Structure formats: structure tokens, C-alpha cells
Structure 1
Amino acid sequence: MSQTIEDLIRTYFEAWSERDARRREAVLERVFSPDAEIIDPDWTATGHAEIVSAVGEAREKLGELDLSLAKVISVHHDVALFSWELTQPGSLTVPVATGYGTVIAADGHIRRAYNFFG
């Protein structure tokens, strides 16, 4: 059974939360198509190797902060809009940062992801 787009987004955020580089790489390679692309305000990555490297570098910069899916807002035609938040570990206070993103999926993988700061 193929993953839903909501499942793909949750898995994408699992990768962002993963501190172990090898496990993060495995998750990213599982969720993204080989020719996928992430377009972020600060960088663009195409293909598994670049995506793994870019997410790893970004994860390092986040330090102990937690990046998590806040809500899948809407889904149609293999495109999803979601919101995310960046918080202190274990914090129930106001997020440090928030934003939005979209993913375009095909054949059970993310083909393109766009990240936006809120």
C-alpha cells in the first residue's frame, strides 16, 4: 500500500528531527524520489545526495531546537500545504519560529518540497 501525502510529510519531519546522520539519510532516501528537489529560502538541493547534505547542515544549525509539523492544512492533486514550528526541546511555550511548506508527491515519494518562513 502506498503512503498518503500526509504520511510522506510526517516522514519528512521525522528526518528533520533525526539527530543521527545515517538514520536521517535513510529516511530522506525513503521519502524523496531520486530526482527530488527541496527549495528553501536559504538553499536549494536536488537529488538524494544534495538533499541529505543540505538537511544535515540545516539540522546542525538548529542545534537542540525541535522542528515539527504543526498541521497539514490542505491536500489536493498530490500537493499539500502544511505549517511547521521550531521550538525549544520540551517547551510548551511560543515557538521560536514558524513557517509553511508545500510538497508535491508522485508515485509514493516527495518530488518537490518548498519551505517558507512564517
Structure 2
Amino acid sequence: MSANTDRYESAVARYFEAWNAREPQARVKAVAVAWAADGSYTDPLADVRGHEQIAAVIAAAHDQFPGFAFRLTGAVDGHHDTARFSWELVSEAGGTPSEGGSAPVAGSDVVTLNAEGRIKDVLGFLDRVPAGA
């Protein structure tokens, strides 16, 4: 594995730590570790900048889908300062999708990293979204 691959995978791991942080203080800390201070997050439902606003978007996702967690699906791919990956939202209780074990939410994100490997920008794409979201 190359040093660059490690860089992308480490950044994405920190990204998921932030998205899966349940407690507000842990979430704030994880966002600060993953994102640059002026970092942004943009998807079809949100367009925010800065740690406080990013943490608020993550909190809203937890409020909408209690008991679910974000997980990586597939490999992280990257070049230069950009990485892409796919994810899904799954029940922490387990189970299969037909048993209600998985929320029908999935997407792909593209992140741009700064020189320190922290996220500058996220462009998120939602591949599956439940009705009314």
C-alpha cells in the first residue's frame, strides 16, 4: 500500500468516526480532527462550512436515523488531494435489509484534502434516499 493510499484511507476513517460519533462532545472533537477549520460539506440536502455547521448536519442525521451507523462500502480510491468512496447507513442492531436491518440510504462522496490530510471539502451524492427525506 502506498503512502498516498494510507493518506486517503486515514482521512476517510476519520470522516466515518465523525459521522458515527453519537455524543455531542465526541462529535465536535471528531469533526475537528477530520475537517480543516474552514472545511465544507455539500450534498443535495446540505451546504455547510465550518466545524459547528458540519457537526449540526451529522447530529441531524442521527436524529433522523437513530440506531443507525455509516459504513464504508468498497475501497477508497484517490489521487492527488482527492479521494472518493461509497457508503451506506446500516442498523447497528444488525439484520438484513429485508428484516429492517438497513436504512435505504446510500451514497458516494468525493473529498478534497489539505496538506495535513484534513478534509477541505466534501461533495456528497445520495444514491438511495427514503421517501420524505
Q: TM-score, normalised by structure 2?
A: 0.79
Matched, 1:26 2:29: yes
Q: 1:114 aligns with which of 99, 114, 123?
A: 123
2:113 to 91, 99, 105: 105
Identity over the aligned pairs, expressed in percent?
27
CA distance in 1, matches of 2:91, 2:54: 25
Aligned residues: 116
Counterpart CA distance in 1 for 2:93 and 2:78 is: 29
Measured in 2, the distance between the counterparts of 1:78 and 1:72 equals 17
Deviation at 1:116, TM superposition (A): 1.1
* RMSD, aligned α-carbons: 1.6
Q: Deviations over 1:4-26 (max 9, x none)?
A: 12111111111111111100110
Please report how far the alpha carbon of residue 92 of structure 1 lies from its aligned counterpart in structure 2 after TM superposition: 4.9
**2:68, 2:92 within 8 Å by CA — same for their partners in 1?**
yes
8 Å Cα contact 1:72-1:80 kept in structure 2: no
Could you tell me which runs of 5 or more consecutive residues in structure 1 were left unpaired when the two chains were aligned: none
Give the unaligned 5+ runs of structure 2.
1-5, 128-133
The Cα of 1:59 is off from its aligned counterpart by 2.0
Structure 1-normalised TM-score?
0.88
Q: Distance in 2 between matches of 1:38 and 1:5?
A: 17
